[in-house]
Structure 1
Amino acid sequence: MPKHLHIILIICLFSLLASSQDKNIFCNQLQALHNTVKKHHYQPKTINDSLSSHVFDLFLKSLDEDKRLFTKEDLKTFELDRYELDNYIEHNICFFIEKYTTTLSQRIETSKAILNDLRDETFDYSGKDTLRFKPESTFRYLKNEAAMKTYWSKRTRYNILYTLVENDSVLKHIKGDFKAREAELKPKLIQKEICQLEELQNRLGSVDNFVKEAFLNAYLHYQDPNSSFFNPTEKEMFENSLSNDQYSFGIITAKNDNGDIIIAHITPGSAAFNHGDFEVNDIIKSMKSDTEILETYCVSNEDVLAFTSNQNHHTMTFKIKKQNGTVKDIELTKTVTKIEENTVSGYIIESKSKMGYINITSFYSDFESPNGLGLANDVAKELYKLQKENIEGLILDLRFNGGGSMKEAIDLSGMFINRGPLSILKYSNGETTTIKDLNRGALFSKPIVVLVNNYSASASEFFAAAMQDYNRAIIVGATTHGKASAQVILPLAQDESLGYSKLTVEKFYRVTGKSHQSQGVIPDIILPSVYDDFKTQEQFEAFALQNDSIDGIRKFPKLKTLPINELKKRSQNRITNDIYFKAIQELNQLIIDNYFQIDTEYLLTLDNVYREMTSYRNQWKTINQPIDAHESNFMVKNSAFTKEVVSYNEDQKLINEALLKDIKQDIYIEEAQAILQDLLNLNPLN
């Protein structure tokens, strides 16, 4: 046998063994996931044709969300599995996944080839073709490859016209130099599309990994929208997001308009910060660990984040292109750094009365600490500083707070009530347990306003509901997300080789027995929101757990009823005549009309794209102008302690000034302050 043939046979045999091993891993993951769900999920779904059909739809949507890759012919082949997935899961049959990987890979390559061919095609902007914009829910799969060519041609031409208008708002300028500008822009935008397709090819390391994890997630998302699959790196990233300390390089990356991965932020005190050779806007060309290398060309920022977060990558060499054009190789080792987002600071708002303001972005915790000190402990420290300033009330801002540690939510709730039950937990077997604050006394007993919005979820809602049920605070803003379930991370095997499942294992109820699941915590005083009717809350998620109620606790030590009706009446009088809240409502309608409910058609010409873009842009600018110019009539400042700490660091001083400005310009904080002032006037001895 010739030597080269012998080598080829060895390579082929190795490839077959590797493929078989990958297939076995997926089989083992699927079986382990099935068993884990059946044993631990709060409400596991029956394995039947209904499950099969719904998982099938979720799976396809995750592979091709915009329906721009698969064709109707592909769908005919896939449809054979619609009512078979339950059988595959029950009997641990895994080969079905291969056709999805193969087809997706082929369609990506086909789309890349079509885009490459467009480089030499002379584009028609005369209006021969029509642009149609419609809601995502009405998207349909493309009929065949000819339809794919039409799609990519139209999309590329629209992107060129859109970018031309975006770069120069004067139509006369664009028309006067159209041919040269279009010729310069065309190859760049085609390459950008190809790059995005290659990002999909490189997602999670390969199309194969992406497709398999998409199926595991589809199976879990059918159980409920908050259950999901984590590979080891995703698990570490998730836990880091809920921690106040992070083992990291201290670099936050982003993708610029040219498709480069750049350093967007360097965390003060981190490894990158202390090294001194890293600068914001440096381009990262590659990253190399002991075992792997990641070239950043045509790679998503998410994959870059996953690579830097990988727990096995303790030391890496970054190939950096500096802004002066020089290229450097810099070795860096991770260190433990405090996460900037997961810290709280107290501020003083002063008008007729002196009030405290604390923005809580997440319910983070120190999972490594035996005491588990996190958010609640940090808030306690800030409250101590604020009370030294003799504040008469407090605003707690939970807008955009997606939750986190339930322990921190319990501890925070206990800081504002004397003692008593906070919530009722219900498990999959129907048993319940009452969560109580066992610490007598409150850390702060003066009036409180809690700000929430559509994106306040989970632990945020736990806290807001407890404060509302105890008449301890006025809840102000928009109806919250509606997530009243708790998740735990469970390994699929004794080691981490098969990954993890973040699984919903219990629901929590208010002390009254009512639930805010798929309903949200309804504020005492509702304020208009730019996110109203976006349908992003839990109730609009497929397969969300339903709202129900259980027997509540009849007697608990709630405080006397707050003057909600009078406060609501006074707030409504202010809002009705407020130009800023009127602008918010107009912005909300503009977004809904142009994104969520858009259904329009026009000819593909420069004039039409220019007209649509400038019309939307001018409306947005006109409506947003008063909001941008707004400045509240109260004073905002740091506590004496914080002011001294900030004065020692120039970077912190600049960040602090920006935060003070943001607070002063925020119309929701202004209205929360006015509501709190009304409460102080109506209830001075509360």
Structure 2
Amino acid sequence: MIVFCNVCFSQTVPFYTKAQKLTGTFGLYHYDPFQLNQKTSQEVTELFITELDNRAMTIKGSDLKLLKENSNTFFDQINSNNDSYIEKANTVYLKALKTVDSILTVLSTRNLNFNENDTSYFLPYGSKKIVYSPTIKYHTKRLERYIKSKSYDRVVNTDDYDKLTEAEFNAKAQIFAKTIIANFQKNIQEEVKTSYRYVESTLLNAIALRYDPHSNYFTEEQNQEFNTQLSAQVESFGFFLDENEEGIISIANIEPGGSAWMSNEVNEGDAFISVKIGNEKITNEELNAYEIQDKLDKTKEDKILLTVKKQNGIIKIVKLIKQKTTSVDNSVKGYVLSYNNLKVGYISLPSFYTDMEEHNLPGCANDVAKEILKLENDTIKGLIIDLRNNGGGSMGEAMNLAGIFIDEGPLFIIKEKNRKPSLVKDINRGSLYKKPLLVMINETSASASELFSNIVKDYNLGVIVGQTSYGKGTAQSVLPLDTNLLYTKNKDAVKNNVDFIKITNSKFYRLNCSTHQGNGVVPDVILPPTPGYSMIKENKELYFLPADSIVKKVVYTPNPKLNTQSLQSNSAQRVSASKDFKRYLQITDSVNDMINKTQKVVLKFKEYKKFKKDNDVIFNSLERAFETNSNTIKCLNNTFDLKLEQVNIATREFNSKIIQSIQKDIFINESFNVMNDLINQKK
């Protein structure tokens, strides 16, 4: 459960004081704090170096050596009020930035040679290997190769690249190279101005990450981003962009109920590639995130084509419309799936949203309840809740959602450091829905999604279908770095604070006293895995908290057990015989083979063009692999929304695409079949 305490800390405080406050607070409240010694000193500095430059675009081998010197005394220095490590780190990093700036200046004065046999390497997906340049000469060549590769990427992202001759292709690449160098250099020069703040925040965050992968240090700006609730009163396309220190642009936030949310094809963390606004195509190499966001906010165009890269490498081109969201109402939408006189409700929930500022406003659980009432009017026999790619959100909303399906009783067990486990109960008596229930999850369903799924399992409320989930069974609180400010009456001190921490202070457990932490929720009915997602797991993260168990007496009344073995057996037979799933498995094998090995490409016209085409063929086929060719089920608006849709042409057109997407999804189709089996079991 995430708790937010919006108070602050002075900028003028020495680094060692901030580090002492951070380790002191974590020592008191973190679920499993570590000892501050030589071993953990070295581990923190290794995390710091990785976080500082995880692609080694700035730091060279000689810089690495300096940053590792005496790293095992880091905590000794901190406890002795000594800031020598961060001062050295800032000096090294600042010098490295200026070296890169100088290299870019040289590269900007000449045309790059696209006819030599430069080779670019792509490490296996999920690889954390970092190779540092041994010399400045090597680093210069490395930056040149990077710019060439990005220039070629930019050319092949244009609509007509396949028609270009070699001379035209290289001429375009040369133009893009100038833009890439200029943007790269601009980012470097901005970093030079703020290097100490960046080094400081990265080092403080590295200390937090050593405790576990979900603990963090936040600057004031980062805390505001973390707390951001997208405006409910302005027109937007429903997403916000952000850019990290390396210039990589990604989807930072998605507005509940907005166009991106409703598309069910855009997720937080997706990499931004380009957006087409009218006749103008803007890429991730031309403008920074803030400039692109400004264009999106100010454009009078009401439609865009957004191109993003999913975490598993799939390229998605999504049509979005600009619209005003007046409240969080209707942020989820219920549809009716129909086949052979069987009607099943379908609701996709991309995140467990709530209003962080107006606590009296309803969140996603209330919105889901409204949709269920609409669907009940269409005489549905069962309900599918789709939590695929739902990375979590408000634990309170997950609890409220579970309360829709159970009458009363405990929901889960929570345990904080040095405290006895305690039961968390459903505070709302009575249940809204008692018919068959199916919950869809996949490898990136996490946290609140897993909490809800386990409640469904414990009470035998329904069946879980999909792939084993991410495995996050911890809860965090957000506090000021200086926790004394929680109690101060000094409003100026609170107002001027700029430092926050997110701290993992508890684990949650199922009613049988086990936890999915590190292991994930295992579905009752297992479907084929999503390619590229095998590395996206809690237990792949450094310093994750391992699974354990507790002892706690729990009294509750579950529903009768479901025959999940029969459901799994029937599903496995269908999947094995399905042409759609055979095609899906063949394509996913090709994708896994490609992303699980080091790829190399010669940075020349013919070779790069072939490399791009070969990759596009695989990833484009993967996107189609999720679509069924049989069109077994029909997806329809619920009757209530169908009437409302008639008055808005743009919404109707947009909603039509969502319906097509749902209808073609092979995993939704199979989930419908599992629901049919479940309904027949209950007859």
Q: In structure 2, what is the Cα distance between the partners aligned to 1:603 and 1:443?
A: 61
Q: In structure 1, what is the Cα distance between the partners aligned to 2:251 and 2:540?
A: 36
> How far is 1:154 from its partner?
2.4
Aligned to 1:144: 135
**What amino acid does structure 2 have at the position aligned with 1:565?**
Q
Aligned to 1:330: none
Mapping of residues 624-639 of structure 1, within 5 Å: 624-625=623-624, 627-628=626-627, 630=629, 632-639=631-638
Mapping of residues 530-545 of structure 1, within 5 Å: 530-531=530-531, 534-545=534-545
Aligned to 1:49: 38
Q: Alpha carbons of 1:204 and 1:343: their partners in 2 closer, same or farther (altered >3 Å)?
A: farther
Aligned to 2:653: 654
* Contact 2:108-2:181 at 8 Å conserved across structures: no
Counterpart secondary structure, 2:13:
helix
* Contact 1:631-1:666 at 8 Å conserved across structures: no
Aligned length: 616
* Contact 2:528-2:585 at 8 Å conserved across structures: yes
- Sequence identity (%): 28
Residue number among 388, 395, 398 corresponding to 1:406 in the alignment: 395
Q: In structure 2, what is the Cα distance between the partners aligned to 1:529 and 1:52?
A: 38
> How far is 1:549 from its partner?
0.7
| CA offset digits 1:176-226 (Å, max 9, x no partner) | x43354234314224314413533554698233222111111111111111
Q: In structure 2, what is the Cα distance between the partners aligned to 1:401 and 1:460?
A: 6
**What amino acid does structure 1 have at the position aligned with 2:123?**
K
Mapping of residues 195-594 of structure 1, within 5 Å: 195-199=183-187, 201-202=189-190, 206-240=194-228, 252=239, 281=277, 300-301=288-289, 338=326, 343-352=331-340, 353-371=342-360, 373-493=362-482, 494=485, 495=494, 497-531=497-531, 534-553=534-553, 555-594=555-594
1:183 correspondence with 2:171: yes
**What amino acid does structure 2 have at the position aligned with 1:62?**
E
Aligned to 1:68: 57
* Contact 2:390-2:445 at 8 Å conserved across structures: yes
Q: In structure 2, what is the Cα distance between the partners aligned to 1:205 and 1:339?
A: 40
Which structure has more relative contact order (CA 8 Å, sep 6+)? It is 2
> How far is 1:297 from its partner?
11
Q: Alpha carbons of 1:613 and 1:445: their partners in 2 closer, same or farther (altered >3 Å)?
A: same
Q: Alpha carbons of 1:357 and 1:321: their partners in 2 closer, same or farther (altered >3 Å)?
A: closer
Q: Alpha carbons of 1:536 and 1:624: their partners in 2 closer, same or farther (altered >3 Å)?
A: closer
Counterpart secondary structure, 1:138:
coil
Aligned to 2:666: 667
Flag the structure with larger Rg.
Answer: 1
* Contact 2:209-2:215 at 8 Å conserved across structures: yes
Q: In structure 2, what is the Cα distance between the partners aligned to 1:269 and 1:479?
A: 27
Q: In structure 2, what is the Cα distance between the partners aligned to 1:223 and 1:268?
A: 32
* Contact 2:66-2:92 at 8 Å conserved across structures: no
Q: In structure 1, what is the Cα distance between the partners aligned to 2:331 and 2:257?
A: 14
Counterpart secondary structure, 1:506:
strand
**What amino acid does structure 2 have at the position aligned with 1:526?**
I
> How far is 1:127 from its partner?
5.2
Aligned to 2:266: none
Q: In structure 2, what is the Cα distance between the partners aligned to 1:42 and 1:85?
A: 23
| CA offset digits 1:231-250 (Å, max 9, x no partner) | 23332332235x8x658785
> How far is 1:363 from its partner?
1.4
Mapping of residues 4-23 of structure 1, within 5 Å: none
Aligned to 1:10: none
* Contact 1:346-1:358 at 8 Å conserved across structures: yes
> How far is 1:253 from its partner?
5.5
* Contact 2:54-2:130 at 8 Å conserved across structures: no
| CA offset digits 1:137-182 (Å, max 9, x no partner) | 33311001001112122233334445555548887x64xx433542
Question: Which ranges of structure 1 fall in alignment gaps of 5 or more residues?
Answer: 1-20, 271-278, 285-295, 309-316, 324-335
**What amino acid does structure 1 have at the position aligned with 2:616?**
R
Counterpart secondary structure, 2:516:
coil
Question: Which ranges of structure 2 fall in alignment gaps of 5 or more residues?
Answer: 1-9, 259-274, 302-323, 486-493
**Larger mean Cα displacement after TM superposition, 178-187 or 73-82:** 178-187
> How far is 1:111 from its partner?
2.3
**Larger mean Cα displacement after TM superposition, 505-514 or 51-60:** 51-60
Mapping of residues 115-154 of structure 1, within 5 Å: 115-121=104-110, 123-126=112-115, 128-135=117-124, 136-154=127-145
Counterpart secondary structure, 2:504:
strand
Q: Alpha carbons of 1:339 and 1:148: their partners in 2 closer, same or farther (altered >3 Å)?
A: farther
> How far is 1:510 from its partner?
0.2
**Larger mean Cα displacement after TM superposition, 212-221 or 22-31:** 22-31
* Contact 1:355-1:394 at 8 Å conserved across structures: yes
> How far is 1:85 from its partner?
1.6
Aligned to 1:39: 28
Q: Alpha carbons of 1:430 and 1:388: their partners in 2 closer, same or farther (altered >3 Å)?
A: same
Q: Alpha carbons of 1:249 and 1:503: their partners in 2 closer, same or farther (altered >3 Å)?
A: farther
Aligned to 1:326: none
> How far is 1:674 from its partner?
0.8
* Contact 1:512-1:553 at 8 Å conserved across structures: no
Instruction: State the TM-score, normalized to the length of structure 1.
Output: 0.80
Q: Alpha carbons of 1:144 and 1:505: their partners in 2 closer, same or farther (altered >3 Å)?
A: same
1:157 correspondence with 2:156: no
Instruction: Say what the alpha-carbon RMSD is for the aligned residues.
Output: 3.8
Counterpart secondary structure, 1:500:
strand
> How far is 1:442 from its partner?
1.6
